[in-house]
Amino acid sequence: MPANASSPRSADDITFVQLRTFACAAQVGSFARTAEELDITQPAVSERIKALEALLGRHLFLRRKGTTPVLTEEGQEVFETVQTILSSLEKLFSGEGRTAEKTILRLSVGPNLRDTYLKPLIPRICQDHPEVEIEFHPMISPVVVTRQIKRGELDLAVYAISDSTTPSPYMVSDMTELSSFNHSVCELPMALIAPPGTGARLSSGECLIEDMQFIFPLRRDLGVRWARVRLRLMGLAPRIPPLFVEFPDVVSRMVEDGQGVACMMTRSVADKIAAGRVEVLDIPVVPMRRLLVRSPHAPPVARHVERMLCEAFSA
């Protein structure tokens, strides 16, 4: 009998989380695999099972260093009872004749990524996981989305950050807590694009870069600080206030039509650069990093969607 429990306590103290953890460990025969299956740490598995043993006043596993845990006779009896309890619980929430409810996956992503990467994936996601319904949330600032991910108000989020931008202490703290749940998917090269011939005009002194209209492919509420940092890093101080247009394809077309210059992801305008419809100015631009973050509170299926997105972004 565990040392901290000389007699069983009330059944009200036992949680379904403890029962599910114990049942999983009994089935797979490994605390490490249980941690992987439940997406928690191995110490958390051990703590839950020790707590259950203390509450029941029974040793459930034989543990010897270097060997896999083995159910005791008492543990086997408890396992059979726990299976019945969990099976009954499952029937209670998904009883016969009842239509299964959809698992809503809340995803925050910008419109360009949504249309380019998410929309083509939706048929596959629905085919592989018919129980899932994706709920798109608008793109918001990295600070806010990170906080919402941490609180479980969002399940997945995709956004880009610059290593050169000093994040708030709150975001640093939140990202540290979420370090096991975020992926730096890829680096995003950036370029300052302009109408063809702009570089030659700048070199000849015919025009000044500070007199040009800078256009940023972001909403104003999200882009003002980002644009200020970008311009400072490029050593530029435009005399005309920047223009913010949310749609990257519209921004690139405006540049092509001679309406200004724009700081954009090189990949998004590669075809126009190759065709000579816009040119890249000889001004270095710090790259961005694309992050994919999953909430610790997200449903298990979020991990599968996360993998699909990582594959799509890395292709």
pLDDT, tens digit (0-9, with 9 covering 90-100), for 211-223: 999 999 988 877 8
User: pTM for the complete prediction?
Assistant: 0.55
Asked if the structure places residue 1 within a domain, the reply is no
Same domain (yes/no): 183, 197? no
Same domain (yes/no): 181, 300? yes
The total of structural domains in the chain comes to 3
Structure token digits, residue 258: 């001679």
Structure token digits, residue 205: 């002194």
CA distance 76 to 58: 11
- Decide if pLDDT at 53 tops 50: yes
Same domain (yes/no): 297, 159? yes
Same domain (yes/no): 84, 144? no
Average pLDDT over residues 277-303: 89
pLDDT tens digits, 175-195? 444 444 555 657 889 999 999
- CA distances in angstroms from 74 to 5, 6, 28, 56, listed in the order given: 16, 16, 18, 10
What pLDDT does residue 274 have?
Answer: 95
What pLDDT does residue 169 have?
Answer: 45
Rounded (10°) angle between helices 42-56 and 31-38: 110
User: 275 or 70: whose pLDDT is higher?
Assistant: 275
Same domain (yes/no): 176, 306? yes
Q: Point out the domain boundary residue: 93, 117, 135.
A: 93
Which of 3-12, 110-119, 261-270 is predicted with the least confidence, judged by mean pLDDT? 3-12
Confidence class of residue 3 from pLDDT cuts 50, 70 and 90?
Answer: very low
CATH number of the CATH domain containing 197: 3.40.190.10
Asked if the structure places residue 5 within a domain, the reply is no
- CA distances in angstroms from 204 to 111, 209, 210, 248, listed in the order given: 39, 12, 15, 30
Same domain (yes/no): 45, 63? yes
- CA distances in angstroms from 24 to 108, 132, 204, listed in the order given: 32, 24, 72
Q: Point out the domain boundary residue: 93, 115, 138.
A: 93
The string of DSSP letters for 78-99 reads HHHHHHHHHHHHHHHHS-TTPP
Q: Point out the domain boundary residue: 93, 120, 153.
A: 93
- Highest-scoring range by mean pLDDT, 163-167, 201-205, 227-231, 303-307: 201-205
User: 2 or 260: whose pLDDT is higher?
Assistant: 260
Please give the mean pLDDT across all residues of the chain: 82
Average pLDDT over residues 96-124: 79
- Decide if pLDDT at 10 tops 70: no
CA distance 37 to 156: 19
CATH number of the CATH domain containing 16: 1.10.10.10
Structure token digits, residue 266: 């090189």
Strand, coil or helix: 73: helix
Confidence class of residue 174 from pLDDT cuts 50, 70 and 90?
Answer: very low
Same domain (yes/no): 182, 294? yes
Asked if the structure places residue 310 within a domain, the reply is yes
Asked if the structure places residue 205 within a domain, the reply is yes
Structure token digits, residue 242: 């920047």
- Decide if pLDDT at 9 tops 60: no
What pLDDT does residue 271 have?
Answer: 95
Within 13 Å, how many C-alpha atoms sit on residue 277's CB side? 11
Average pLDDT over residues 241-259: 94
- Decide if pLDDT at 37 tops 60: yes
Same domain (yes/no): 253, 295? no
What pLDDT does residue 102 have?
Answer: 82
Within 13 Å, how many C-alpha atoms sit on residue 302's CB side? 26
Same domain (yes/no): 176, 293? yes
Asked if the structure places residue 21 within a domain, the reply is yes
Strands 70-71 and 214-216: unpaired
Beta bridge mates, 186: 290
Same domain (yes/no): 309, 223? no
- Decide if pLDDT at 129 tops 90: no
Parent domain of 230: 190-286
Same domain (yes/no): 55, 84? yes
User: 291 or 177: whose pLDDT is higher?
Assistant: 291
